[in-house]
Chain A
Amino acid sequence: MLLRVGFLAPLVIYLAVFFGYPLLANLSMALREYTAASFYTGEAPFVGAANYAAVLADPVFGTALGNTALFTAGSLVFQFAIGLALAVFFQRNFPLNGLLRSLLLVPWLLPLVVSGTVWRWIFDQEYGVLNQTLLGLGVIDQGLPWLSSTSMALASVTVANIWVGIPFNMVILYGGLQSIPAHLYEAAALDGAGPWQRFRHVTWPLLRPVSAVVLMLGLVYTLKQFDVIMVLTQGGPANATQTLTTWAHALSFGELDFGLGAAVGNLLIVIALGFALLYLRGLRAQPGAPVAGRRG
C-alpha cells in the first residue's frame, strides 16, 4: 500500500504543482480585477464574470476568434495533406530516400524564432526573396505587402506555420504507413486494385487512428501557436493576425490587465477541451481503435 502511494506521489505532486495550481490560479485570476498593483498589494477585487463580459464585448474578440479558426483550420488541412502526400511518396524505395526524409525534418528541428525570422525575411515587401522571385518571373509588377496588409497577413503567417508543421505530420503518418502489413497491398493488387483504390481502401482506413492522433495533436499545437505569429507580425497589422493566444499575451503583458488576459486564456482552454472531448467520443465510436485503458 505504502509502495503504491510512493510510486503515485511524485506524479500527483507534479501534476498538482505544475498543472493544477497554475490552472486554478488562472481561473481565479479571470474572476478578479487583476492589475499591476494587485501583485504588490495582493488586492484583486472579485468581479465575477465582468472580465469575460468585457472580453466577449470587445470587437477584437470576434477578430481573434475568427483568426484563430482560420489559422488553425488552414494550418491543419495543408499540414496534414502535404504531410500525408510526402509520407506516401517516401513509402516507395528509391535512392537517397533516407537522406531526403531526414532533410525534410529540418523545419521541425529549427527553433521557431529562427524559422519565424527567416520567413519574415522571405515575406519582406521591399527586398524579400518571395517578392523578388515573383517580380523576376513577371508574375507581379510590384511587391506584394505579404505581412503589412491587413488582408494578406493572416494567410502569410498561416503559410509559415504550415511549413513548420509538415515534418511532424509526415513523420507520424510515415510511421503509421510502415505498420500497415504489406500483404494487404499485395492482396489488393491481386484483386486488381489500382494505386488510387489501394490508397482509398487500404491505406486510408488503416491509417485512420494515426490520422486522428496527428490531427488532434496538431489542433492543440496550432490553437496555442504563439512564436511564429509573434516573430512575424506580433498580431498586427491592426489585429489582422491577432489570435486568442497573442491577444491574451497583449492584454496581460502589454496592457497589464491580467484578469482580461486570463479570461481569454481560459476561453482558449475551453475550446481545446471541447475538441479533445470530440476526439475521445470519436475514438469510442470506432471499434478497434487504441483507446487508453481498453483491455482485451
Chain B
Amino acid sequence: MTRVSGNPAHRLRAPSALVAAGLLGLTTACGGGGGEGGEVTSITALDYNLAEPQNGATESMLQECGEQAGVQVEREALPREQLMPRLLQGASQQELPDLMLIDNPDLPQVAATGALLPLEEAGFDTAGYYDSVLAVGTHEDTLYGIASGVNGLALFTNTALLEDAGVEPPATWAELRTAAEELTQGDTKGFAFSAIGHEEGTWTFEPFMWSNGASLTDLDSPEAVEALELWAGMVEEGSVSQSVVNWSQADVNDQFLGERAAMMINGSWQIPVLAEEDVDYEVVPLPVPEAGGEPATPMGGEVWAIGRNGAEREEKAAEVLRCLLSDANMSEWAELNAYVPAKEELAQRLAEENEQMAPFVESVPTAQARTAELGVDYPDVSAAIADAVQQALAGSGSAEDALAQAQQSVPES
C-alpha cells in the first residue's frame, strides 16, 4: 500500500461524514477531456503521487507517453485519502478518469462497480510479469489493474546501534524478541512498527499472521493469536513503545531516523527518504517464526487502471499505459521510488545492482494479494484486524479475545 507522505493532517481534509456523504452526490464532476465521437485529443489521468520526486516524474512520464500516443494527458493528483471519494464521485456521474492509479487493496471496490476496462479486452501482454503482481490487479479472475512497480515490507536495522549492542539482524521471531530487548536502552526502543487503527496497521501485521500459517478468513486461529501475542509481548516487555498504536509508517520512519528505534518494519519507499539523512542502515527480510521459513509479505503498491469511457478514449489510454509500462519507464520509476519492477527480469537486474532493494525483490514472488481471499469484503476485515491489534497492544484485552471478536466481521462463506 500506501506511501503516506507527511503527517496525519492529510487525512483531515474530508469534512464530517454526514456532510461529505450528502455532498458527494451533489457536486458536479469536472474533468473528462475529449468529446463524444470526434477525434480524441486529450485524456484524463488521476493519481496520488503528490510527494516529490514522484510528482514530477509522473507528470513528465504521462506527458511523454501522451505525446507518443498523440493525445494531451490532463493529469490530476490528489492526496491518497481523497482519491477513493473522488473516484466514487466520478463514478456517480459516469465520468471516471481515463487512467487512474489505485492502491491495490482498493481495486476490487472500484472494479466491482463495473466501471473499469478489463485489460484483456485492451489486448495487454502480460508476459514477463510476476504472477503475484498480476494477482493484485485481478478481481474475480479478470485483470483490471497493472502495476509498474510494487513494494513490500522488510526489517530496517540501524547498523551503528546494532554493532554497539553486539546484535546481529534477527531472522526468526525468537531472535527478533531478544534483539529488541537488548537494543532497548535509555530513550531508544529496540523495535518499532505501525499498529495504527486502519489499513496501515493491518498490512504491517499481516506478514506475521501469514508467515505463521494463519489466514484472513480464520482470524481466531492459534497461529494468528500467536502472531499477535508476539507483538503484544514486545510492547509489554517495553522493547516496543505502546505509542505504536498511533504511529503511521511515516511516524515509524521518523522514530528510526531519530534513533528512537533501533529496528523498524517499513516499506521500500522509505529508502529514498532515508537516503537524504545521515543514517547507516541495513535491510533484511522480515523475521519468520522458525529458521528457514518463508517470509510472506503482503503485496504493496498501486495499479494503473483504465476507465470505461468509450472505445476511442480507452484505446488512447491503453496506448499511454503501455508506454508507462515500457521496460525503460518501469526501471526508471522503480529506481526513483525504490519500488520493485513488475517484470521479473528487470527486478532481478535491480536486485543485483542495489543490495538494499534485494530483500524486497526476494519477497515479491511469494507476496500475497491482500484482497485475494476476501475481495470487496477486505476493508471490513482489515478494520477489524487493526482493532484487534490495538486492543491487544493498548492493554485492554488478550490477543485471543481480541481476535475472536475480529473473527465476527469475517463473512461466512
Contact = CB atoms under 8 A, between A and B. Distances in A.
Given A40-B115, A248-B18, 4 more contacts: A22-B18, A22-B23, A113-B12, A234-B197
Interface in B209-245: 241-245
B22 to A, nearest CB: 3
Q: How large is the interface on A (under 10, 10 to 19, 20 to 34, 35 or more residues)?
A: 35 or more
Contacts of A218: none
A265 to B, nearest CB: 4
Interface in A191-241: 224, 226-227, 230-240
B21 A254 contact: no
Query: What is the predominant secondary structure among interface residues of chain A facing chain B?
Result: helix
A178 interface: no
Contacts of A113: 9, 12
B16 A245 contact: yes
A269 to B, nearest CB: 7
B12 A22 contact: no
Contacts of B30: none
A186 interface: no
A124 B16 contact: no
Interface of B: 7-9, 11-12, 14-26, 81, 84-85, 88-89, 91-92, 94, 96, 109-110, 112-115, 187, 189, 196-198, 241-246, 260, 376, 379-380, 383, 387-388, 390-391, 393-397, 402, 405
A164 interface: no
A226 B390 contact: no
Contact of B379 (A22, A151, A256): A256
Nearest to B395: A149
Interface of A: 17, 21-23, 25-26, 29, 35-37, 39-42, 59, 113, 117, 120, 124-127, 145, 147-151, 153, 224, 226-227, 230-240, 245, 248-258, 261-262, 264-265, 268-269
Contacts of B89: 39
A250 B14 CA distance: 11
B243 A126 contact: yes
24 contacts: A23-B22, A25-B22, A25-B25, A36-B113, A37-B113, A40-B94, A40-B96, A40-B115, A117-B9, A125-B242, A148-B244, A148-B394, A233-B246, A237-B245, A237-B246, A237-B394, A240-B396, A250-B383, A252-B21, A253-B20, A253-B85, A254-B383, A255-B379, A268-B18
